[in-house]
Chain A
Amino acid sequence: MRSSLWQRLLPFLTLIALFVGLIIATPNFFTSTNLSSVVRQTAVINIMALGMTMVIITGGIDLSVGSILALAGCLGTMTMTSGTMTSGTMTSGYSVPAGIAVGIVVGCLAGLLNGALTTRLRINPFIVTLGTLLIIRGFALILTNGMPVQNVPKGFSFLGEGSVAGVPFVLLILLAVAAVVHVILEHTKLGRYAFAIGSNPDAAFYAGIPVKFHTTVIYGICGMLTGLAGMIESSRLMTGQPTAGQGYELPAIAAVVIGGGSLRGGEGSVVGTLIGAFIMGLLSNGCDLLGIQPFVQQATIGAVIILAVSVDELRKRI
């Protein structure tokens, strides 16, 4: 028997309770400025977490996302600035989309590298991505000489800070990404294979599924979304920071896990991950508004992660 409805709704109910609680606790919470700042702050982690969801469903993990985010941001912004420096060949109007595209492609390539290393060398993804975490970060630092990429075109700020009809542009991007990942996971062959590989890689292989290929593609998609997140982060900072995104892998993994994903593979969902990311976002925003120390914030979020997973394990055992 699968879990009852209310148990599956528990993360969602927690999110609602948190939301309502904050409305009551502080008048500054339910304002359009605050809400849009919550959305903007969580969008980057959220988009990364969606890619991470796919990887975790296959039974893998990607610890290198923070470094991929930085490398993508640096190379993306460098493309934009090189376009303006040799002005005349490329106007800033085109350099922004070109830079964003470069960032996404760089992320995708880094993800494919992770996938290829784990599947071809048969090394545990935890180890592989621990290695690439350092390699990619090092590469970003070498490339930029440790200095942030400056003088990005002004138009670039729209990606992270712009609004469409009062709605933060990043929210629209997040919703679009969520919709695409949801469709991939629930309605495509690739998504089904991801679940099968995560649930039992041997059975998937014996059923004639090209396990290595599909696993690599999933890592590629995760990298691609991380590249996109990197461009959003750069746009909010208006620089390409080689040190950006340090430690981002942990909240991304935490969002997946709070949302019901299992590190053993075969479990996870887009809706769950979104809820997980927003629970963490609201917690940290709420702590800010209520004037709670940042140290206490961290401890609270840590406790929530453990609580969420233990509730989930309990639910599965019943």
Chain B
Amino acid sequence: MLLQLEGIQKRFGGVTALRQGTLRVNSGEVHLLMGENGAGKSTLMKIVAGMQTADEGRLLWRGQPATFRSPRDAAEAGISMVHQESLLAPHLTVAENIFLGREPSHYGFVPRQRLMQEARHLIEQYGFPLRADMQVRELSPAGKQMVEICRAIRHGSSLLIFDEPTSSLSESETKEVFRIVAQLKTRGVGVIYITHRLEELRTIGDQVTVLRDGETVHTSALAELSMNQLIKHMVGREVSAVYQRSPIARGKVRLKVTGLSRPPLLKGIGLEVHAGEILGIGGLIGAGRTELCRAIFGIDAIAAGSIEVDGVPKRIGSPREAVAAGLAYITEDRQKTGLALGLPIGQNITLASLDRISQYGLLRQAEERAVETKFMHRLRVKAAGPKQLVGRLSGGNQQKIAIAKWLARDAGIFLFDEPTRGIDVGAKAEVFALMEELARQGAAILMVSSELPELISVADRILVMKQGCLTGELPGGCTQEQIMHLAAFKESVH
């Protein structure tokens, strides 16, 4: 037994984050830690990694009671965490980052050659797709993740914690991470792996522990558990892994895009979205799906093409004009481009519609209050009130606020870019239900998603992109293989 946690409790002020955290991890085992956002996974892992200390409970490390008071403490014992957002120095090289804080030093001097050599050796040993002399800022998110893993291995860790390592990676990059994890396993390293992506678990997991509302509710070998059972443990009620759509009558064309080009990222894209329709856009990372949304929304200038909204040609050269035309864009990265995290919930909800609730520049406060509470209710936002800061909400609730901003604006055409990224199963179902409700009320919805099962079950039609071109159209309910075929193998017509 490598690590054993019993009855861990942790409170933050009046909020109990962990009530009864229990976890047992063996050497050479990949242990999945599952649970909805806010279930206490991160807090539990922070306690293991020495970033926080438990209020109650026992932590046994290799059978001995232990308390880690700092990440350094934990690292010295052999525990490292690979973070979701990379904590690297972007201007330093891969080698320098791997050794950061623990440079081999010779009377205070760092021998560059030795540093490079040792880094190269490590990289070769595991077959990381990295070069020791590259600057970290030139690396892809996956590359950065690899550097973090190297760093942990180099420190001689016997337990590695991965916090959603693949949430921003493409399929091939994900495979690369899995390969490394499998290698670590054969070398007897214990791995704790946090993820929201249900479909990737089977590939790597051995054991699974599920947390719900700060309590460990299930622990077993992964093989003994069906996907639906797993979801049931996480949400505490029956939820189907596949969203059940009900049909909506299709109305007139609301958004028509013709010949949209922005070489080399977008080439001659044409599409129509009808009222009451959810149009899915599939494709691999880098196929140009986000670029398509950005071009339609006026963020990037287009070289050619036209956009019609409700049959009227529109010149959309900025988000402001897009908003005026009735468009809404729920971006793939809500923290960077979707929300003002330091402002209250209420102010985020009304941000795009202040011109409607103000007169001569003065805000009509009663009206603003009314809008805030209306949409917090309608989207069932779990928060203390409209004055709570958005940054303190869970991923799912943040996403609801990002959507509420456009509902308050009364937008009619929605561009959803990866609407379920980093949110838990329960919130996903709520987001889909909301999209369906909008469609039923006559909105046109364009949905970009890398989660193929979601795309298939939610969209009425699916357009697939590859290298900036559309490669085909599929009906909703098609198979994943059909989408992958168009996304990866189809020769583009252009």
B25 CB–A CB distance under 8 Å? no
Partner-B contacts on A (CB < 8 A): 1-2, 187-190, 192-193, 195-196, 199-200, 202-210, 266-267
Question: Chain B, 322-361, contact with A by CB distance < 8 Å: what is the 0/1 string?
Answer: 1110000101000011111111000100011011001001
Contact, CB under 8 Å: B319 / A266: no
Q: CA–CA, A206 to B296, complex, Å?
A: 12
Residue ID in chain B nearest A213 by CB atoms: B320
Contact, CB under 8 Å: B365 / A187: yes
Q: CA–CA, A190 to B354, complex, Å?
A: 10
Contact, CB under 8 Å: B361 / A200: no
Contact, CB under 8 Å: B13 / A207: no
Contact, CB under 8 Å: B343 / A199: yes
Partner-A contacts on B (CB < 8 A): 13-15, 297, 299, 318-320, 322-324, 329, 331, 336-343, 347, 351-352, 354-355, 358, 361-363, 365, 384, 387, 389, 392, 405
Contact, CB under 8 Å: B341 / A199: yes
Residues of A within 8 A of B324 (CB): 208
Closest CB-CB distance, A202 to chain B, in whole Å?
Answer: 5
CB within 8 Å for A190 and B361 given contacts A1-B13, A206-B299, A209-B351: yes
Contact, CB under 8 Å: A189 / B338: no
Residue ID in chain A nearest B15 by CB atoms: A1
CB within 8 Å for A206 and B338 given contacts A195-B343, A196-B347, A266-B343: yes
Q: CA–CA, A202 to B15, complex, Å?
A: 32
Residues of A within 8 A of B336 (CB): 200, 202-203
Q: CA–CA, A138 to B448, complex, Å?
A: 55
Contact, CB under 8 Å: B339 / A200: yes
Given B297, B337, B340, B361, which contacts A195 in the complex, CB threshold below 8 Å?
Answer: B340
Contact, CB under 8 Å: B319 / A208: yes
Given B322, B342, B343, which contacts A208 in the complex, CB threshold below 8 Å?
Answer: B322
Considering the complex of A and B, which 10 residue pairs feature the smallest CB-CB distances, nearest first? A208-B323, A199-B340, A207-B352, A199-B342, A266-B342, A200-B340, A208-B320, A202-B337, A189-B354, A189-B358
Contact, CB under 8 Å: A200 / B341: yes
Residues of B within 8 A of A266 (CB): 340, 342-343
Contact, CB under 8 Å: A188 / B358: yes
Q: CA–CA, A209 to B392, complex, Å?
A: 24
Residues of B within 8 A of A202 (CB): 336-337
Residues of B within 8 A of A187 (CB): 362-363, 365
Q: CA–CA, A203 to B324, complex, Å?
A: 17
Residue ID in chain B nearest A265 by CB atoms: B342
Residues of A within 8 A of B319 (CB): 205-208
Contact, CB under 8 Å: B354 / A193: yes
Q: CA–CA, A200 to B15, complex, Å?
A: 28
Closest CB-CB distance, A271 to chain B, in whole Å?
Answer: 17
Residues of A within 8 A of B358 (CB): 188-189
Q: CA–CA, A235 to B392, complex, Å?
A: 49
Given B299, B339, B347, B389, which contacts A192 in the complex, CB threshold below 8 Å?
Answer: B347
Q: A196-B340, A196-B347, A207-B351 are in contact. List 9 more A-B contacts (CB 8 A).
A: A195-B340, A195-B343, A196-B343, A200-B342, A206-B299, A208-B323, A209-B320, A209-B352, A266-B343
Q: CA–CA, A190 to B363, complex, Å?
A: 10
Q: List 13 A-B contacts (CB under 8 A).
A: A1-B15, A1-B384, A187-B363, A189-B358, A189-B362, A192-B347, A193-B354, A195-B340, A195-B343, A202-B336, A203-B339, A208-B320, A267-B342
Closest CB-CB distance, B182 to chain A, in whole Å?
Answer: 38
Closest CB-CB distance, B9 to chain A, in whole Å?
Answer: 19
Closest CB-CB distance, B160 to chain A, in whole Å?
Answer: 28
Closest CB-CB distance, A286 to chain B, in whole Å?
Answer: 35
Residue ID in chain B nearest A201 by CB atoms: B340
Closest CB-CB distance, A179 to chain B, in whole Å?
Answer: 14
Residues of B within 8 A of A196 (CB): 340, 343, 347, 351
Contact, CB under 8 Å: B361 / A189: yes
Residue ID in chain A nearest B339 by CB atoms: A203
Residues of A within 8 A of B351 (CB): 192, 196, 203-204, 207, 209
Contact, CB under 8 Å: B354 / A206: no
Q: Which of A2, A205, A208 has the most CB of B within 10 A?
A: A208
Residue ID in chain A nearest B13 by CB atoms: A1
Contact, CB under 8 Å: A207 / B405: yes
Closest CB-CB distance, A17 to chain B, in whole Å?
Answer: 28
Closest CB-CB distance, A50 to chain B, in whole Å?
Answer: 18
Q: CA–CA, A2 to B355, complex, Å?
A: 28
Given A1, A2, A189, A199, which contacts B363 in the complex, CB threshold below 8 Å?
Answer: A189
Q: CA–CA, A203 to B318, complex, Å?
A: 13
Q: CA–CA, A192 to B372, complex, Å?
A: 15
Residues of A within 8 A of B389 (CB): 2
Contact, CB under 8 Å: A203 / B340: yes
Given A1, A2, A188, A208, which contacts B361 in the complex, CB threshold below 8 Å?
Answer: A188
Residues of B within 8 A of A200 (CB): 336-337, 339-342
CB within 8 Å for A188 and B320 given contacts A196-B343, A266-B343: no
Contact, CB under 8 Å: B352 / A208: yes
Residues of A within 8 A of B339 (CB): 200, 203
Q: CA–CA, A22 to B332, complex, Å?
A: 56
Residues of B within 8 A of A190 (CB): 361
Contact, CB under 8 Å: B355 / A189: yes
Q: CA–CA, A187 to B357, complex, Å?
A: 11
Residues of A within 8 A of B341 (CB): 199-200
Contact, CB under 8 Å: B340 / A188: no
Residues of B within 8 A of A188 (CB): 358, 361-363
Q: Which of B322, B343, B392 has the most CB of A within 10 A?
A: B343
Q: CA–CA, A277 to B389, complex, Å?
A: 28
Q: CA–CA, A187 to B363, complex, Å?
A: 5
Contact, CB under 8 Å: B329 / A206: yes
Q: CA–CA, A190 to B360, complex, Å?
A: 11
Q: CA–CA, A192 to B392, complex, Å?
A: 20
Q: CA–CA, A90 to B352, complex, Å?
A: 50
Contact, CB under 8 Å: A204 / B320: no
Closest CB-CB distance, A168 to chain B, in whole Å?
Answer: 30
Residue ID in chain A nearest B340 by CB atoms: A199
